[in-house]
Structure 1
Amino acid sequence: MVRLPLTPAEVERGQRLGALLRRARGERSMLLTALEAGVSPETLRKIESGRVATPAFPTIAAIADVLGLSLDTVWSEINRSDDGVGPARPARHPAQRLAS
């Protein structure tokens, strides 16, 4: 399967997701957080740094659960517009991108 390049909007959402998870984790160990969520510390590190801009839903759900974040909070944070007022407009139709 060929992966389509990420759009700037997808990269930005990945960066917002990473920042949200870092803030929620606070002083908590990355290793313990990752292990409790059932993901590798390397995966968590890549998500938090924005290097994995489109992680799988179960991965985000597991990390959010461990950090006490609701999926509604995660969704609203990563999809907010640049002015912070409303949702960002999608860069392309969802059917044009396959999730991995």
Structure 2
Amino acid sequence: MVRLPLTPAEVERGQRLGALLRRARGQRSMLDIALRAGVSPETLRKIESGRVATPAFSTIAAIADVLGLSLDALWTEVNQAERMVS
């Protein structure tokens, strides 16, 4: 399967997602959050840094659950800047 390059909007959305997750994690250990969510610390690091702009839904759902974030609130905040530009 060939994966198409990400659009600038997708890259920006991934960066906003990563920043939001990083803020929500606060001072908690990346290792602890990753293990509790069932993902590797490297995966969480890449998502938080914006290097994985389009992570799998199940991965985000698991991380959001551990961080106590609602998926609705997460989706709204990540996409809010996009709507403001449109």
State TM-score, norm by structure 2.
0.94
Verify: 1:24 aligned to 2:27, yes or no: no
C-alpha displacement of 1:87: 6.3
Segments of 5+ residues of structure 1 without an aligned counterpart are 90-100
Letter in 1 for 2:13: R
Segments of 5+ residues of structure 2 without an aligned counterpart are none
User: 2-side partners of 1:25 and 1:81: how far apart?
Assistant: 21
1:1-100 alignment to 2 at 5 Å? 1-81=1-81, 86=83
User: 2-side partners of 1:87 and 1:65: how far apart?
Assistant: 27
1:4-48 CA deviation, whole Å, 9 max, x = no partner? 000000000000000000000000000000000000000000000
User: 2-side partners of 1:81 and 1:20: how far apart?
Assistant: 13
Greater C-alpha radius of gyration:
1
Higher helix share: 2
C-alpha displacement of 1:81: 2.5
User: 1-side partners of 2:84 and 2:38: how far apart?
Assistant: 30
User: 2-side partners of 1:88 and 1:75: how far apart?
Assistant: 16
1:45-89 CA deviation, whole Å, 9 max, x = no partner? 00000000000000000000000000011101111135xxx4666
